[in-house]
Amino acid sequence: MDQLSAMRAFVRVVETGNFTRASEALNLPKATLTNLIQGLEAHLHTKLLNRTTRRVVVTTDGALYYERANRIIAEIDELDTSLAASYTLPSGRLRVEMAGAFADWIVIPALGDFHRRFPEIHIDMGVGDRTVDYLAENVDCALRGGVPTDQSLIARRVAEVSLITCAAPGYIEKHGTPKHPSELETDHQCVSYFTALNNRAVAFDFRKDAEALEINARHILAVNDARSFLSAALAGLGVAPLPLFMAAEPLAKGELLRVLPDWQIDPIPLYIVYPPNRHLSNKVRVFVDWLVQLLTERKLDALP
């Protein structure tokens, strides 16, 4: 039995949902495809598919085998093409994840440059701060703020995002200007940010010389998306420690004003993360190299 051909046949049947479409996709006679699947089941001593006259249903063992077989086939295909990689442009579908702020302010405006360099790479970008199952969703890489909590992920620290404390002129006119971070727990209010991981508002860490404070600020609104965080600050709903790259334009226009300028906020480390046991393909390498260069040029850790 040609086990690799049988694995490819099985994977395609699962993905297409029936033998007819799978045989057409693989350009194989349906009888040959059926024999490959039957031979694979005999080799494994287990049933992978339950067949009816109308559809094919994957068994529990079949679902487990599909997940592993799909990864193996992908790695073999990548290995087959890697020898010629230095002579050809990388190509294919690239699945990435990142927060909306990184997508809207940094990555998407520059993607025209990436496409000119690598016109055969097609990007599917998941945008948001939700928790992602990298393996189940077939994600190649992600750009994430903060230290990854999933220790199984491969993480590469690539930059830092500086934060700057701001408030809208309307907020300051109504509530005054805070003079000390502790006032954010008593006399003022913040726009707060909660994480999808635990749905709890994040504390803000302020530093001045050798003094460090962890502030659990009062708030009337907490959000879990940086774009909404900025919108709430512009609406005067509270003091907001904002990423500098998001706050720079509203500050220049006078739509936001800097407060607590003598107090620094710990920057947010930026990581590119990969799922475990995933071969790093050429298309992922060139995208990551381009992304690191882009983040370096943007100087996200530079405060005015």
How would CATH label the architecture of 163-266? 3-Layer(aba) Sandwich (3.40)
* pLDDT value, residue 188: 92
From the CB of residue 128, how many other CB atoms can be counted at a distance below 10 Å?
Answer: 14
* pLDDT value, residue 178: 93
Distance of CA 196 to the CA centre of its chain: 13
- Full strand arrangement of the beta sheet holding 257-258: 240-243, 163-167, 257-258
Can you tell me the distance from the alpha carbon of 217 to that of 91, in angstroms, rounded to the nearest whole number? 47
For 85-161+269-298, CATH number?
3.40.190.10
Q: What is the pLDDT along the chain (304 residues), one digit of tens a residue?
A: 688 889 999 998 888 888 888 888 888 898 998 999 999 999 999 999 988 767 788 898 989 999 888 888 887 876 666 555 545 678 888 999 999 999 999 999 999 999 999 999 999 999 987 777 777 788 889 999 888 877 788 889 998 999 999 999 999 999 999 999 999 988 899 998 887 666 778 888 899 988 888 888 888 898 988 889 999 999 999 999 999 999 999 999 999 999 999 999 888 899 999 887 656 778 888 999 999 999 988 877 655 4
The 3-class secondary structure across the chain, one letter per residue, is CCHHHHHHHHHHHHHHCCHHHHHHHHCCCHHHHHHHHHHHHHHHCCCCEEECCCCEEECHHHHHHHHHHHHHHHHHHHHHHHCCHHHCCCCEEEEEEECHHHHHHHHHHHHHHHHHHCCCEEEEEEECCCCCCCCCCCCCEEEEECCCCCCCCEEEEEEEECEEEEECHHHHHHHCCCCCHHHHHCCCCEEEEECCCCCCECCEEEEECCEEEEECCCEEEEECCHHHHHHHHHCCCCEEEEEHHHHHHHHHHCCCEECCCCCEECCEEEEEEECCCCCCCHHHHHHHHHHHHHHHHHCCCCCC
Distances (CA, A) of 289 to 12, 51, 103, 140, 296: 33, 46, 17, 14, 11
From the CB of residue 289, how many other CB atoms can be counted at a distance below 10 Å?
Answer: 10
Can you tell me the distance from the alpha carbon of 83 to that of 89, in angstroms, rounded to the nearest whole number? 12
Place of tokens 């992602």: 132
Domain extent listing, the chain: 3-82, 85-161+269-298, 163-266
Topology agreement, domain 3-82 and domain 85-161+269-298: no
41 contacts 47 by C-beta, under 8 angstroms: yes
* pLDDT value, residue 237: 95
Distances (CA, A) of 86 to 77, 196, 272, 283: 16, 41, 24, 12
Can you tell me the distance from the alpha carbon of 171 to that of 238, in angstroms, rounded to the nearest whole number? 7
Nearest-5° angle of CA 29, CA 30, CA 34?
A: 120
Can you tell me the distance from the alpha carbon of 121 to that of 152, in angstroms, rounded to the nearest whole number? 27
From the CB of residue 113, how many other CB atoms can be counted at a distance below 10 Å?
Answer: 12
166 contacts 251 by C-beta, under 8 angstroms: yes
49 contacts 56 by C-beta, under 8 angstroms: yes
Contacts of 86 (CB under 8 A, 6+ apart): none
CATH 1.10.10.10, domain 3-82, yes or no? yes
